[in-house]
Structure formats: C-alpha cells, structure tokens
C-alpha cells in the first residue's frame, strides 16, 4: 500500500500518449482468443521521444508493455526555438510524411498521428502533411523516421563564416 501511494506522488518523467488500440483475435480449437495491441508514444517535451507497440490479453498490460518498449527506443530530436531545424519528406512503407519548420506563433498544423508525436517531443511550431496512407501506426513510424533524419544545420553569418548552431537545452 505504501509503495502504491509513493509511486502516485512521484511526477511522471515522460508524457505518455496512446495512439491506437487494436483488438485482435486468434482462432483456436477452443474458440476465439482475444488480445489487444496498443501503439504508445512517450516524450519528455524537451526533444526526447520513443515509440512502442505493446501486445497483451488486456489493454492495461498492453499499455504498460508499450511504454516499456518505447523507453528502450528513446532518441533525441534537435530543436531550434520550438521548431525543427529543416524540412524532411520521408516515405516508409505506404506512409509518406512531410514535416516543415514554422515561425513562432504558428502552432502545430499537423494531422492526428503526427501531432501526437510532435506534442510528445515538445515541438511548438511545425507544419506537416500526411501524403500516403491513413493508417495511424504507419504514419507514426514514418514521422519517427523523419525525426531521426533531422540534423542541426550550422548557421551562416553575414560575413560567410559558419557559426555553430546553439541547441536549446
């Protein structure tokens, strides 16, 4: 009992979002065996995100497994003033996702699956377009792949010399 209260008091390290819950069934000799698969995205709102797919006989166990797998798959996104450093167009499977940086005050102009990933990462201003499939899971994986391709581009001063880009920490 004391352990449960203690874990409820501690603040969560990551923001957790359920993207998709699928009910799957398997035909067996004894009848249908029903299970659930849950796609989870976690992020610290400072540029660190991960995605995980949890499968279990009940939804709560599947969510727990999805979070555990997402924590193993964490990576850092380079952010610049609340947005991404450059544009990326990615095709992964049937999903095609275009992400673009946006000026301050624009907000997140994105579709549902991309929005959930961007919010978990802490991106405040971004524009995106989903061009391929409408499948949420495929779009999430494509968005994650696009974020993995981001690099901080060095800033060029007016004199033509390169400056190091300062990342917001």
pLDDT digits (tens, 9 = 90+) for 16-32: 999 999 999 999 999 99
**What is the average pLDDT across 98-117?**
93
pLDDT in tens, 40-93: 999 999 989 999 999 999 999 999 999 999 999 999 999 988 899 999 999 999
User: In the 8-state DSSP scheme, what is residue 166?
Assistant: P
- Domains plus CATH for the chain? 2-75 (3.30.160.20), 78-148 (3.30.230.10)
Residue 131 has pLDDT above 60, yes or no: yes
pLDDT at 112: 86
pTM over 0.75: yes
Phi, psi of 107 (to 5 degrees): 90, -170
Residue 102 has pLDDT above 70, yes or no: yes
Question: CA dist 37 to 8, 31, 71, 81, Å?
Answer: 25, 20, 17, 36
**How does residue 164 score in pLDDT terms, banded at 50, 70 and 90?**
low
């Amino acid at each position: 009992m004391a352990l449960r209260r203690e874990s409820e008091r501690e603040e969560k390290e990551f923001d957790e979002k359920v993207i998709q819950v699928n009910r799957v069934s398997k035909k067996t000799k004894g009848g249908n065996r029903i299970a659930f698969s849950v796609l989870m995205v976690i992020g610290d709102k400072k540029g660190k995100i991960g995605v995980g797919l949890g499968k279990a006989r009940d939804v709560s166990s599947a969510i727990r497994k999805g979070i555990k797998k997402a924590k193993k798959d964490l990576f850092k996104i380079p952010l610049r003033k609340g947005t991404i450093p450059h544009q990326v167009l990615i095709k992964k499977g049937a999903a095609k996702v275009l992400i673009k940086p946006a000026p301050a005050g624009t907000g997140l102009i994105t579709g549902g699956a991309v929005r959930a990933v961007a919010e978990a990462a802490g991106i405040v201003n971004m524009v995106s377009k989903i061009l391929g499939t409408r499948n949420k899971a495929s779009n999430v994986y494509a968005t994650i792949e696009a974020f993995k391709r981001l690099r901080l581009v060095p800033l060029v001063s007016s004199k033509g010399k390169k400056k190091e880009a300062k990342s917001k920490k």
